[in-house]
């Protein structure tokens, strides 16, 4: 079932910095800014792990994650954005890892990604308040 709409994909493609939130098994939250994240299907977001320590540890303890993205709508000069929630898995090899690795290397050759995180989305929310 498609959870991520075409409009959401458009906003994500314009996003320069994603907020990725995780928490430990004890509920201690952690939020990190991520440059290398993108939607890869109608219900998955790819996040490339270049330097993560707490995020990686949290996902191993508690796979629940949230990802937010936002962009400026030039027509209205206001921000639009979305929050996605789901279950995260870490991949250290395989096609998805290889694709993420090559994506980062094409943009920043000096960085060597150590893993990718795939968040399987179960919920999506509009960040714009509606009256």
Length of the chain: 131
Q: What is the distance between the alpha carbons of residues 29 and 18, in angstroms, rounded to a whole number?
A: 16
pTM score > 0.85 for this model? yes
First to last CA, the chain: 29
Domains held by the chain: number: 1
Residue-level pLDDT at 14:
93
78 versus 70: the higher-pLDDT residue is 70
Query: Are the CB atoms for 73 and 79 separated by under 8 Å?
Result: yes
Residue 70: how many CB atoms within 10 A of its CB? 20
CA angle (104 as vertex; 103, 108 as ends), nearest 5: 130
In a domain? residue 114: yes
In a domain? residue 22: yes
Residue-level pLDDT at 131:
57
Q: Quick one: average pLDDT of 83-102?
A: 97
- Domain extent at residue 121: 6-126
């Amino acid at each position: 079932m498609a959870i991520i709409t075409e409009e959401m994909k458009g906003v994500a493609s314009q996003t320069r910095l994603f907020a990725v939130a995780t928490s430990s098994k004890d509920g201690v939250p952690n939020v990190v800014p991520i440059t290398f994240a993108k939607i890869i299907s109608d219900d998955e977001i790819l996040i490339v792990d270049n330097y993560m320590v707490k995020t990686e540890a949290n996902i191993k303890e508690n796979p629940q994650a949230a990802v937010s993205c936002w962009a400026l709508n030039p027509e209205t000069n206001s921000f639009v954005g979305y929050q996605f929630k789901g279950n995260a898995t870490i991949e250290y090899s395989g096609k998805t890892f290889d694709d993420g690795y090559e994506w980062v290397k094409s943009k920043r050759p000096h960085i060597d990604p150590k893993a990718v995180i795939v968040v399987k989305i179960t919920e999506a929310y509009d960040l714009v308040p509606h009256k």
